[in-house]
Structure 1
């Protein structure tokens, strides 16, 4: 086999395929289920909902991301993740969040530049932590960009006046936002540490990931 043929085959293996997208989507379904449970559970306690919920989701969903990353080991995973997540939010009436999350995913991809970085625990932790920060900051984007629409949908979801008041206080005070980011970042890192341990003990032994 010629060198050019080998190069073409290697490049083809590095590209995201339809099957890869389906694998990513399957893991994203699990993350959406987690989000659908943790949101309502923490909503009655405004502090937990606003400051901890995003980090809790990053902690619980880190393993799902790590399974995809280690199994596929291809650049573009975060971009697919960001596009799918943005489109889902678009269906909920927040189409302007699509370019935002695509941008966050692009930054994550920049953090993953290099060979076999999607099987590197440290690099995965960095990428997932950036995504987590994008998530907590993204929670504020609808408030900044479409307040009336946000209030209407949030009220229909059961948001109390206390939640609204705490959100405004959180966004108007940079220190509060930094505090929320620190909590999210810490839980994202812990989630990756926990997830990598699960991968080593179970998924890699079972041959599910490389």
Structure 2
């Protein structure tokens, strides 16, 4: 029997809330968080409804704590899978939790909206996919060059902002490799902290939620 079934074209399928929860129960933290972030960003679900789905599951159901962790970490402000992956790595590496999509202004007006900001450190982080600088059909290489120039000017203005000390960028390759990602953030000045300021369930975290490199780092 399909849980919380809805009819789609004559087929009985589980509702979106339950589908997201089931994915969170069985998939990796990276994949589950990207799914949940996207659903919240598109206003397809509400966090309270997802938590209610988890609490309605039979006691000791497999993956319940993992689903609760994913739901608590999820944030509709995330705008791309790369941002979700980046936040997953930050959590797994024990880095301080950043603010998302923070807007900056200066005397000339709006500078931009940044992916990640650590106000206590004065550090801005940007998750950049290659698509940002890709030349679309019909455009010349000048378009990509202009995009790179605008990005540099934007970074310069951000660094001159009184609340910003440094601006850093990373891509998919660095976010996928937790060691490289830790090095990128460490060079910026974002390093592990004692205690955890991320929203997490009470008790021990699911072992599945931790990246292998993080497990090794704490067991050597």
Work out whether the TM-score is over 0.5.
no
Structure with the larger RCO, 1 or 2 (CA within 8 Å, 6+ apart): 1
- Indicate the structure with greater strand content: 2
TM-score by length of 2: 0.27
TM-score by length of 1: 0.28
- Indicate the structure with greater helix content: 1
